[in-house]
Amino acid sequence: MKITSAEIYPLSIPLIEPIKMSRENIVDAKTVLCCITDEHGRKGWGEASVAPLMTGETLDSLVGSIEYLIQGCMELDWKEPKDFTGLFNRVLYANASAKSCLEMALLDLYTQTLSVPLWQFLRSANNATKAELPTPIPLLRMLGGSLDKELNDAKVFSELGFRHWKIKIGSLSLDEDLHRVKVLSDALAGDVISVDANCALSLVDAIRFCESEEASKLTFAEQLVSTELSVGDFALLKNKSPIPICLDESIHGISEIKRFIDADVFGGASLKLTKTGGVIQALSCANFLHAGNFKLNLACKVAETSLSAAATASLGFALGAVDWGFSMSNQYLRFDICDEPLKARHGHLDVAQLASSGVGITPNLDRVKEVIAKGYAAIQC
Ligand SMILES: [Mg+2]
């Protein structure tokens, strides 16, 4: 399998409403799609969103890295998905999101040639060749805005079947956040409720938060403190916290997972394809976590389209269990780039929404071209 041509599309898609996190206020999805063509004229699609605070990649750098990577990969023969990362690394150091974007497009092509869906290929790679279809994956819904709005959203989405929640914290005072968490935990009692501070709390505040009665009903607390803190600080937080600690920004791949397991600093991790450099590496991370009885949630960056959601969901379907939920961020987009966007059904995503071969979502090129980011253009390789 060879790449004979490719197009890169830098996109900006408005969100339904802004999403406020501790260190950024997101109003649109800055995401990059690539479409590669093989020697038989088949097309494969990949996607990665910018995540300056998670991978260091901006729209400019991501587009540049993807273009550089594709040009360096044109002459190569793509045979075994397990070898893709090694081949990328011979062309470009680091830049996990760019590699994730191209890997997704290559896997889309590869599984189309096998006439199987990506999730099934991944499940076979995991030696889990069950005949029956995977169970639907629970979707995680983010809560934000005023407390009244959060309570209203919690009610509305609870009635739609959602049972997994994420409360963003860290942009208000600790006492205000604790109050929100208590009120929402009471309203959603029995559900899987989490908070995510995106690194914003000091170690002292993080310990106080976790030890507070107001936070006692949380299922887990994600990335409360900065990645810059020492492993000893992370260990102290984990030891003091009655709530399981989840790491997101601190985890980019298997080596960090192994190091943090050895240091006993967490109870689970959030995996994103843009951090691990793609689906195959993310599967290795997930298997390693499961083998050690650690929990995980799967997440798209806020926000990615149905394409990235399908690839991330394929990982979940292959794993069979996503205890801490799947944060499918296309639900926050004002519109999507395909004719039939992935949708929550009773708070879950079911495998029947994915096509029967490839990643499972094919973008509509006209829609893609409508949302090219201002000041950018499609790039031909
Ligand atoms: Mg997070």
Q: Predicted confidence band at 127 (pLDDT cuts at 50, 70, 90)?
A: confident
| Residue 294 CA to ligand 1 centre (angstroms) | 17
Mean per-residue pLDDT for 266-277? 97
| Residue 134 CA to ligand 1 centre (angstroms) | 26
pLDDT value of residue 129: 65
pLDDT, tens digit, 9 for 90 and up, residues 89-116: 999 999 999 999 999 999 999 999 999 9
pLDDT, tens digit, 9 for 90 and up, residues 273-297: 999 999 999 999 999 999 999 999 9
Mean per-residue pLDDT for 193-202? 97
| CB-based neighbours (< 5 A) of ligand 1, an ion | 196, 222, 248
Average pLDDT for the chain: 95
pLDDT, tens digit, 9 for 90 and up, residues 310-340: 999 999 999 988 999 999 999 999 999 999 9
pLDDT value of residue 321: 84
CATH of 3-116+363-380, one of 3.30.390.10, 3.90.1150.10, 3.30.420.10, 3.20.20.70: 3.30.390.10
pLDDT value of residue 21: 82
pLDDT, tens digit, 9 for 90 and up, residues 5-44: 999 999 999 999 988 887 888 889 999 999 999 999 999 9
How do the domains of the chain map onto residue ranges? 3-116+363-380, 125-353
pLDDT value of residue 302: 86
pLDDT value of residue 176: 97
pLDDT value of residue 173: 96
| Residue 268 CA to ligand 1 centre (angstroms) | 12
| Residue 324 CA to ligand 1 centre (angstroms) | 12
| Residue 42 CA to ligand 1 centre (angstroms) | 35
| Residue 198 CA to ligand 1 centre (angstroms) | 6
pTM of the model: 0.96
Instruction: Please write down the HEC assignment for all residues of the chain.
Output: CCEEEEEEEEEEEEEEEEEECCCCEEEEEEEEEEEEEECCCCEEEEEEECECCCCCECHHHHHHHHHHHHHHHCCCCCCCHHHHHHHHHHHCCCCHHHHHHHHHHHHHHHHHHHCCEHHHHHHHHCCCCCCCCCCCEEEEEEECCCHHHHHHHHHHHHHCCCCEEEEECCCCCHHHHHHHHHHHHHHCCCCEEEEECCCCECHHHHHHHHHCHHHCCCCEEECCECCCCCHHHHHHHHHHCCCCEEECCCCCCHHHHHHHHHHCCCCEEEECHHHHCCHHHHHHHHHHHHHCCCEEEEECCCCCCHHHHHHHHHHHHHHCCCCCCEECHHHHECCCCCCCCCCCECCEECHHHCCCCECCCCCCHHHHHHCECCCCCCEEC
Q: Predicted confidence band at 125 (pLDDT cuts at 50, 70, 90)?
A: confident
Mean per-residue pLDDT for 136-141? 96
pLDDT value of residue 270: 97
The CATH fold assigned to 125-353 is TIM Barrel (3.20.20)
| Residue 137 CA to ligand 1 centre (angstroms) | 18
| Residue 297 CA to ligand 1 centre (angstroms) | 9
| Residue 126 CA to ligand 1 centre (angstroms) | 26
| Residue 85 CA to ligand 1 centre (angstroms) | 24
